[in-house]
């Protein structure tokens, strides 16, 4: 409940419950909210274009990776780590 109120009025739960202000966390939260606005707009646009042609998602991802090679490198690293973690989990089970 406190979290819902905090999100609605852009307040921190700590401030609501305890009167504590954590300005570093607030700055990070504000930055995250700006990111979410951009991501939300991109997501809405991608959903719109893919509703007409599902292949557009593949096109978008390829274009995004071409424009942002850092993202492509990050994604490959993350996929590799997840694959390694899955292999490790399977070894534990077997």
pLDDT at 37: 85
pLDDT at 36: 83
**Rounded Cα distance, 40 and 52, in Å:** 19
**Rounded Cα distance, 59 and 77, in Å:** 21
CB-based contact 5:11 (threshold 8 Å): yes
**Rounded Cα distance, 55 and 63, in Å:** 13
Strand, helix or coil for residue 12? coil
**Rounded Cα distance, 3 and 57, in Å:** 33
pLDDT at 78: 93
Task: Indicate the pTM of the whole model.
Answer: 0.51
Task: Report, as an integer, the average pLDDT of 11-20.
Answer: 62
Q: Is the pLDDT of residue 48 over 80?
A: yes
pLDDT at 34: 79
Task: Report, as an integer, the average pLDDT of 23-33.
Answer: 64
């Amino acid at each position: 409940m406190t979290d819902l109120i905090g999100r609605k009025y852009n307040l921190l739960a700590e401030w609501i419950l305890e009167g504590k202000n954590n300005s570093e966390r607030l700055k990070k939260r504000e930055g995250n909210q700006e990111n979410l606005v951009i991501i939300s707009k991109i997501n809405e646009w991608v959903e719109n274009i893919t509703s007409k042609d599902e292949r557009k998602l593949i096109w978008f991802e390829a274009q995004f990776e071409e424009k942002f090679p850092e993202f492509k490198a990050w994604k490959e690293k993350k996929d590799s780590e997840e694959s390694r973690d899955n292999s490790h989990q399977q070894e534990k089970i077997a």
